[in-house]
Structure 1
Amino acid sequence: MVAQAEHCETCVVRNRSICSALAPEDRQMLGREGRIQTVRKGQTLVWEGEDALLVANVIEGVLKLSTSTSDGREQIVGVVYPSDFIGRPFGERSQHSVTALVDSRVCLFPRAAFDRFAHEHPELEHRLLNRALDELDRARRWMLLLGRKSATERVASFLLEMSQRLGETHCNGAGPLDSFELPLDRQQIADVLGLTIETVSRQLSSLRASGVIDLPSRRALDIKDRKRLMALAGD
């Protein structure tokens, strides 16, 4: 097993995660509080409504944030990628479940230990605040997407966001990907976008027929005309 301090020095997301706010010696100190855990596809790391005992940095993979509606249905409320932060520091209850969409790895911290460390390191608290504000901005953009955009605009916007976020993780920030595997199936995409699975399938087929994208397999996607896709997204 790799020592945690050694892992911190070789961690692929250390320059983009919340830990990047810390000096190297402080990062290693925080690292000694954590442990690396593999989360298999379909495995739930955190359950909605449970005591918030853990927080985590995503190192590898893609996970979904979901909540249950009053009639028991699942609603996906977000997707997290490498370098994203999971959990609710200084909170008592988990607001949503966190489940791996693909095999993933996370760096887990006991929430109580993380909270104490954050209190002692204002630069980490400041980074957490910035992250929270970024998530608020993302939530506002998503409200616009769901409330104002057409089905075509929603699907196009979703594909562009996937391209950008997956590009950040695979290309070290070099730019969005033109070819990638969708981490969500069509039903999950429909749930995220507030559409039916039939509508999502029709929109993808239409984009493919018009030469904007290609779908080599059920999950694989190639963006053939990014400018047209951006125009269809309303960007």
Structure 2
Amino acid sequence: MRTAKFETEPFTCPSCITKIETVVSKLAGVAETKVMFNSSKVKVRFDDTLVTADAIAKSITALGYRSYLIRSPRSWPNWLTGVMSDHHSPQGHAALEVLVGRVPIFSQLDDDELKDIAGRVKLRHHRRNEQLYGAGENNPHLMIIHSGHVKVYRISESGHEQLIRVLGEGDFLGDTSFISGAPADHFASTLYAADICTLHHDDLRDYLLRFPTVTYKMLETLSNRLENTERQLSIFAGEGAEHRIAGYLLELSEKQGTATGTGDHGTVTVVLPIAKKDVASFLGLTPETLSRKFTQFESAGWIQMQPRRTVEILDIPALQQL
């Protein structure tokens, strides 16, 4: 049995205690669930051969309470709790190989190649809202996210934050400085506590030359990012706030939506992955405009706003026509 703690945003209603404890306790392999209301944490004791910590976190998030695993030195191996200081210890090194093997750009490598990369990768735990690097800085590392989320953004001349993208598990950043050799032109900060692997650019250059599959996967990821950026620009160019918001909600529904009902009478429930102010920044809107448009969408019967950043989409065809 293992014990893990999950951090959520502040709880506002005591009814969440019974709701979370009931749902999580029904998962196969979960022996005990305890909600710590005042600290906004959930403590779970479970059999990791039957259920994973990620599955537990997703079940809590599905209830409308965005959840992230807190790495605990008493519950998890040392390689998950801070800077990797002993690459030569058999336990830590073997565990790091498993971690590296889960990263998409390294997933096609064999055991010996993963072992080689694990010998040079360092893993560090970062606190919530910690800046990883800023505009104008020379970042010499490729950063690979093992857990948590990182936001990439710029600061406009007027001092406003413009969100570029949010990266999650398996994503990487620091590639721009590697390719161009120039200082970063953006900022990167953790949205929540995150575990991030770093690989020096010199080592990355060596791997790209030695392992064609890593090069291909990296190019594939960069191509997808470029496609997403172009789609984002096309949405912004000449389109009103309603169109941007509707497009964003529809994209969320395709990626994470939980559907109920069938046909035109069906609804889809999604959870905003970031705070509303960050959603507004990403869509090129002010927070006030986003809130006003959400209210208009509710009045029209298209959506229903729920607690914990949860949105119930009631009329998908209506959003598609905007």
Query: 1:18, 1:85 within 8 Å by CA — same for their partners in 2?
Result: no
Unmatched tracts of structure 2, length 5 or more: 1-77, 80-91, 258-267
Identify if the C-alpha distance between structure 1 residues 76 and 124 changes in structure 2 by more than 3 Å, giving closer, same or farther.
same
Q: Counterparts of 2:215 and 2:295 in 1: how far apart (Å)?
A: 45
Q: CA deviation at 1:164?
A: 5.0
TM score, norm. by length of structure 2:
0.61
Equivalents in 1 of 2:300, 2:97: separation in Å?
46
Alignment of 1:30-179 (within 5 A): 30-88=117-175, 89-92=178-181, 93-164=183-254, 178-179=269-270
**Paired amino acid for 1:222:** V
- Hey, what's the Cα distance between the residues in 1 that align with 2:238 and 2:102? 36
Cα pair distance change 1:7/1:200, threshold 3 Å: same
- The aligned residue for residue 43 of structure 2 is none
Segments of structure 1 that go 5 or more residues without pairing to the other structure are: 168-176
Deviation of the 1:48 alpha carbon = 1.7
| Greater displacement, 22-31 / 157-166 | 157-166
**Amino acid of the structure 2 residue aligned with 1:65:** V
Tell me: CA distance 1:41–1:145, structure 2 relative to 1, closer, same or farther (3 Å).
same
Q: State whether structure 2 residue 92 is matched by structure 1 residue 6.
A: no
Aligned partners of 1:53 and 1:110 also within 8 Å: yes
Q: How much does 1:148 deviate?
A: 3.5
Contact 1:55/1:110 (8 A) holds in 2: yes
Corresponding position of 1:186: 276
Structure number with larger C-alpha Rg: 2
1:20 Cα deviation from its structure 2 partner: 1.4
Q: Deviations over 1:162-209 (max 9, x none)?
A: 455567xxxxxxxxx8342x3432322222111122210012223333
CA–CA distance in structure 2, aligned partners of residues 27 and 163 of structure 1: 35
Deviation at 1:211, TM superposition (A): 4.1
Q: 1:20 aligns with which of 107, 116, 126?
A: 107
Q: Contact 1:146–1:154 (CA<8 Å) still a contact in 2?
A: yes
Partners of 2:300 and 2:94 in 1: how far apart? Answer: 51
Q: State the partner residue of 2:314.
A: 225
Give the % identical residues: 21
Distance 2:287 2:122 in 1: 38
Q: Against the structure 1 CA distance between its residues 226 and 28, is the aligned structure 2 distance closer, same or farther, given a 3 Å change threshold? A: farther
The Cα of 1:65 is off from its aligned counterpart by: 0.6
Confirm or deny: 8 A CA contact 2:144 2:198 kept in the other structure.
yes
Higher relative CO (Cα under 8 Å, sequence separation at least 6) belongs to 1
CA contact (8 A) 2:146 2:195 kept: yes
How large is the Cα RMSD of the aligned pairs?
Answer: 2.6
**CA distance in 2: counterparts of 1:125 and 1:228, whole angstroms:** 41
TM-score normalised by structure 1 residue count: 0.81
